[in-house]
Amino acid sequence: MDIFNGLLLGLSTATTLSNFAYCFVGVLLGTAVGVLPGLGPIATISMLLPFTFGLPVDTALIMLAGIFYGSQYGGSTTAILMNLPGEASSVVTTLDGHEMAKQGKAGRALAAAAIGSFFAGTVGTLFIVISAPLLASLALTFGPAEYFSLIVLGLITSMVLASGSLLTAFGMALFGVILGLIGTDVNSGAARYTFGTPYLLDGLDFVIVATGIFGLGDVLANLENEHKRIASVTHVTSLFPTREDWRRMSMPILRGTGIGVLLGVLPGAGVLLASFSAYALEKKISHRPEEFGRGAIEGVAAPEAANNAAAQTCFIPMLTLGLPGTATMALMIGALVVQGVQPGPDILSQQPALFWGLVVSMWFGNLMLLFLNLPLVGLWAKLISVPYHFLFPTICVFIAIGVYSINNSVFDVYMMALFGVLGYFFKKTGAEPAPLILAMILGPMAEEYLRRALLISHGDASVFFTSPVSLGTLTVAALLLLSIVSPRFRKVREEGLQEAD
Amino acid sequence: MNRREFIVFGGTAAVLASSKIALADKWPSKSVMVISAYPPGGTSDIVARLVADLLTAKFGQQFVIANVAGAAGALAGGKLARSAPDGYTILVSGSAPIAANKVVQANLAYDPQVDFTPITVVAESPALLTASSNAPAKSLQELISYAKANPGKVNIGNPGAGTKGHICAAIISLQTGVEINHIPYKGSPPLLADLLGGHIDFAIDAPSNYLPHIKGGKIHGVAVTSAKRIGEIPEVQTVAEQGLDGYNQALWFGAVGPKGMSPEIVTAIHQAIKEWSDTPAAKEKLTSLGLTPVVNSPEEMRGSIEREIESIRPLVEAGLVQPS
């Protein structure tokens, strides 16, 4: 199927009443959780995942994807108006966005963020259209050795990019790998770390761990500072960027989009790295770097464009290789597998309506978000003044129902509660859970592909270095690992992440 | 739950149940739970849902699916074994929890031959041995002679350790004495992708995903594991036709109840499934899943269970399949 026919099919899939409606529900929910600090897309998607089992698979994926990229828009609203990043990837937006708001340019900052996001979303979607079929046709040449190397790269990237100390990130990743090993070994069928209970024979469900850590854990952490939370919202005046604004933000949006598109595809990097890198780049090449941090519109437009571009393109490795680059993408795979759809090179030929429908719906979703976010921005800002004591019981109930309905198992709800406590502990100790979650997915995959590659090659490890793709990927991973040791890189990393705190 | 707890529990359930059997003539007077042993979406779950729907339509009570996934169906089997045999709980699943688990799982909490009442097999499907385009053999005899000339060099992928594909390959290895490296995958799609990409030479799996690629000439059909060839690819011979006398392996899906279920209810469910399977709609639906409707009787199903177990037992004893 060529791209034109694909887009036509996508258009007919995405414009059915239910798909259109669920796309809207998705972006609406996404914006809401993006606005609300402490409730991110991972928790929301894991909560809603079981409720999508009854939907057709395309509708389910369209809605879940909408939540994900919708939250990228919503996150910037509170970042600009209240200096509260609703979403981790909006952290850099607070630097200049809130400064602009303080100078009475809130509307222009919001417009820069939304326009940047929309442009990046459009380009990101186009990029999927062109590169996903290409990658899918290449994917068959990827054997176990190539997959293994890509996964190693993803694991290392996620560690290097985690906030906080590297040692903590490394520890979290190792812990994640161990959690991922629980269950029946694929190769021998042996039970590992199951403590003799049949409930653990299939391993820990990643959705349960993610819901516990990101859902319940965040609720617990938020309860603590509930009385401290003050919602002072800056008043929004004109939403129209001036001619000068357009001139200053057009190139940063282009560059941010480019960075986001590329980093979104890199396994393990995701949206956070995209927004940080875009901000750093703009600051570096700007003629007036002194304005950054004091309300430079470039510092809003570029990272917002980058995080939204990455939010679209990180679907590419997930859909075409079945390789989740981020925890959110791992949830998407979960949503697909439950419905009997295996992401991978075959998805374009087996599920063309799903693939193209998703892509077209992403563009629709971005368009809806543009309109949802600009005129209605005041409404979203009000959402934050909803007292948390109304929100948290609702969240808890949804989390519990969601987790129970995955396997109809009370054991899972207990496990989720346990990981909620653990998530709270991570929050208090400043250990970022993202590497843990990703390692829990990628660790067992790495083992599976490593052992399969060695089984097929009869124990000859040179297969990892004779394939060019594998060798190249491993080299990048090694360089990344080496760069941590270099004091100069460490300084850059710490500065970059400090700005985030 | 360990075995001792289980026996106590089962005994209590049997006593409680005996009083209810008398009510069998009014069955079903409330909704019935149909346990599905796998997560939603897989073939086994689709079969369970088809059966639940047909029974709902036939008896006018809701037959509600409960997905109890995990441990290759052992959790679902355990749940059924602990249920009262009053006809309000049945299990519909692939053969693992109903048969194979008895020999491939070391700590199974129930004995499927003792603790279940067979109702009927619903459908079955052969497994198919396929070869990649650059594989060193295109027929079973070529494969065997290649394996004899190059010991330890033959890799056959299967969709999971202990699955039918694994067992089919292990039986070939047992009957011919050649060494086969079993390469387990997590389900069919990654196995098919590696076969198409030429990263693995052979695969044994349920045929439905492979047929279009065989017709497209991207992979070769080597042998069919059942006694009959597959209609869509009539040129591919069976394993038995290629020299392994008596070789006949099929994956099947069936319905069972707990021990001591009343024969009237068993017959009622069996009859309903039988009637449904003769309709064109049912045949079409099952064919689209790569399945053939095979509704036998409760007694025949007991035989299917025993044959399945006895065909795997020697593999476990020979160390070709490791119990977990």
Q: A210 vs chain B: nearest CA distance in angstroms? A: 19
Tell me the mean pLDDT in the region A140-161: 86
Q: Strand order in B292-293's β-sheet?
A: B63-67, B32-36, B89-94, B250-258, B116-126, B292-293
Phi, psi of A60 (to 5 degrees): -60, -45
For the cut 60, the answer to whether the pLDDT of residue B24 exceeds it is no
**A399: Cα separation from own chain's centroid:** 19
* Choice among A174-183, A349-358, B11-20 with the minimum mean pLDDT: B11-20
Contact flag B153-A458 (C-beta cutoff 8 Å): yes
For residue A360, give the nearest of A5, A9, A2 by alpha carbon: A9
Give residue limits of the domains in chain B.
Answer: 3-125+251-317, 128-224
Give pLDDT tens digits for A272-322.
Answer: 778 888 888 888 888 888 888 888 999 999 999 999 999 999 999 889 888
- pLDDT tops 80 at residue A23: yes
Report pLDDT digits (tens) over A51-105.
Answer: 787 788 899 999 999 999 998 888 888 888 877 776 677 778 888 988 888 888 8
Mutation target to probe the B interface, by most B beta carbons within 10 A, among A53, A149, A184 is: A184
Residue B41 forms contact with A (CB below 8 Å): yes
Cβ within 8 Å, pair A199-B75: yes
B215 touches chain A (CB under 8 A): no
Cβ-Cβ contacts under 8 Å, B161 against chain A: 185-189
Question: What distance in Å separates the CA atoms of residue B110 and residue B77, rounded to the nearest whole number?
Answer: 7
Nearest by CB to residue B184, choosing from A187, A196, A202, is: A187
Residues in chain A with CB shorter than 8 Å from the CB of B155 are 455-456
Q: A370 and A114 in contact (C-beta within 8 Å)?
A: yes
- Contact assignment for B187 to A342 by CB distance below 8 Å: yes
SS3 letters for A449-471?
A: HHHHHHHHCCCCCCHHHHCHHHH
Structural class in CATH, domain B3-125+251-317:
alpha beta
**Residue B4 pLDDT exceeds 50:** no
ipTM computed for the complex: 0.70
- Do A141 and B70 count as a contact with CB atoms less than 8 A apart? no
CA distance A250 to B261: 74
Give the pLDDT band of residue A231 (cuts 50, 70, 90).
low
| Lowest-confidence region among A251-260, A399-408, B214-223 | A399-408
Which residue has 């097929």 as its token pair?
A456
Contacts of B86 (CB under 8 A, 6+ apart): B17, B20, B21, B23, B27, B261
Task: Indicate the residue type of A422.
Answer: L
pLDDT at A211: 84
pTM of the model: 0.77
pLDDT computed for residue A238 by the predictor = 72
Q: Would you call A12 exposed, middle or buried from its count of C-beta atoms within 10 A (0-12, 13-18, 19+)?
A: middle
- Whether B70 and A198 lie within 8 Å, measured CB to CB: yes
Mean pLDDT of B85-108: 90
Asked whether this chain's domains B3-125+251-317 and B128-224 adopt the same fold, the reply is yes
**What is the distance in angstroms between the Cα of A40 and the nearest Cα belonging to chain B?**
27
Q: Do A198 and B187 touch (CB under 8 A)?
A: no
Angle at which helices B298-317 and B263-277 cross, to 10°: 90
pLDDT at B92: 96
What pLDDT, on the 0 to 100 scale, is given for residue A348? Answer: 84
Beta-strand relationship, A191-192 and A183-184: antiparallel
- Check residue A227 and give its pLDDT: 61
Q: How far is A366 from chain B (nearest CA, A)?
A: 30
Residue with tokens 């849902």: B49
pLDDT of residue A38: 64
What is each CA distance from B265 to A70, B21, B27, B77, B294, in whole angstroms?
Answer: 53, 10, 7, 20, 20
Decide if pLDDT at B28 tops 80: yes
For chain A, domain boundaries: 3-139+146-500
Residue of A nearest to B162 (CA): A189
pLDDT of residue B5: 45
Contacts of B323 in chain A (CB under 8 A): 189
Summary mean pLDDT of chain B: 86
User: Is the pLDDT at B83 greater than 80, yes or no?
Assistant: yes
Coil, strand, or helix at residue B87?
A: coil
pLDDT attached to residue A309: 94
Mean pLDDT of A341-360: 86
pLDDT at B20 over 70: no
CA distances, A120 to each of A309, A363, B45 (Å): 5, 10, 41
Instruction: Kindly report which listed range (A101-115, A157-171, A229-243, A453-467) carries the lowest average pLDDT score.
Output: A229-243
Q: How many CA atoms lie within 13 A of A480 on its CB side?
A: 20
Determine the residue of chain B that is closest to A342 in CA distance.
B189
Residue closest to B300 by CA, chosen among B164, B123, B119, B126:
B119
- Determine which of B199, B211, B324 to mutate to test the interface with A (most A C-beta atoms within 10 Å): B199
Distance, CA of A256 to CA of A286 (rounded, Å): 13
Q: Which tens digits make up the pLDDT trace of B121-147?
A: 999 988 999 999 999 999 999 999 999
**Mean pLDDT in residue range A114-129:** 94
pLDDT at B10 over 50: no
% residues pLDDT > 70 (chain A): 91
B2 closest CA partner among A203, A198, A414: A198
How high does pLDDT run on average in chain A?
A: 85
Instruction: Say which residue the tokens 């560690």 belong to.
Output: A159
Question: What is residue B15's predicted lDDT score, i.e. its pLDDT?
Answer: 46
Q: Write out pLDDT tens, residues B216-248.
A: 899 999 999 998 888 888 999 999 999 999 898
- Considering the four listed CATH numbers 3.30.365.10, 3.40.190.10, 3.50.50.60, 1.10.3720.10, the one that applies to the domain covering B128-224 is 3.40.190.10
In the prediction, which pLDDT does A389 show?
A: 78
Predicted confidence at residue A340, as pLDDT, reads 67
Please indicate whether residue A12 or residue A238 has the higher confidence score (pLDDT). A12
Q: Please report the pLDDT score of residue A496 as a whole number.
A: 57
